[in-house]
Amino acid sequence: MGKHFTLTADDSHQLGAYRADPAGLSKGGVVVIQEIFGVNKHIRAVCDRLAAEGYTAVAPALFDRTEKGFECGYTPDEIANARKFIANPNWDAMLKDTQAAIDELKKEGPVAIVGFCMGGSIAFLAATRLSGISCAIAYYGGVIAKFADEKPKVPMQMHFGEKDQSIPMSDVEAIKAKRGGDSEIYVYPDASHGFHCDERGSYHETSAKAAWPRFIDFLKKHLK
């Protein structure tokens, strides 16, 4: 359904991206931000699924500044290798590349951003620091708690798993305390990290199927 193409950030860096377009008139754009596994089969599938919902989706390759075209799966060795990209993350550079994807989608109408894991953290930072988006959705963003004093400039929705080993519930409670008044925050009692990804062992179908309609309804509400 989708195609690969090139985005250009405002510092002239060129990065790869994947784009999926709806069959009919677009309801707006959604920037889809990757996990540490790159713009892989799963992230492309999320884009395709959003296109089927009527949105134009673009997933920028945020690791292209370090390694062009990186993508991988979920074996223990692949996960260990992928962690190198976030040992010392350059959030500013990744946000610069995220802004390029937002700008690319503006001609489709209002733009949202959704991210998973590392991408969830970037979606939150996009809501607080970037321009041109109407709403943001974060699935299990691991460092949101660190940045939770920053106030989103647009409506924000967050999804967490209560059994997530990498995001303790104390972090989620801290996020709720700081951002609960201005953000929708959902916790799924039987879900762990990565519960949305049906290619991972941590996939939790019930939670994933509960979160997706909330996400789509949020888009419908804020992309008008």
Range of the domain at 186: 3-222
pLDDT mean over 170-186: 98
> CB–CB of 86/66 below 8 Å?
no
User: Per residue in 191-208, pLDDT tens?
Assistant: 999 999 999 999 999 999
User: Per residue in 146-157, pLDDT tens?
Assistant: 999 999 999 999
> For 169, phi and psi rounded to 5 degrees?
-65, -25
Which position has the token pair 């959030």? 91
Q: Give pTM, 2 decimals.
A: 0.98
DSSP state of 85: G
How many domains is the chain partitioned into structurally?
1
| Six token digits for residue 186 | 């959902």
> Residues 42, 159, 193, 222: which is the catalytic one?
193
pLDDT value at position 174? 98
Share the mean pLDDT of the chain. 97
> Residues 42, 64, 103, 117: which is the catalytic one?
117
The verdict on whether 117 is a catalytic residue reads: yes
> CB–CB of 63/85 below 8 Å?
yes
pLDDT value at position 127? 98
User: Per residue in 30-85, pLDDT tens?
Assistant: 999 999 999 999 999 999 999 999 999 999 999 999 999 999 999 999 999 999 99
Q: What is the CATH number of the domain that holds 85?
A: 3.40.50.1820
Could you give the CA distance from residue 153 to residue 7 in angstroms, rounded to a whole number?
Answer: 25
The verdict on whether 135 is a catalytic residue reads: no
The verdict on whether 193 is a catalytic residue reads: yes
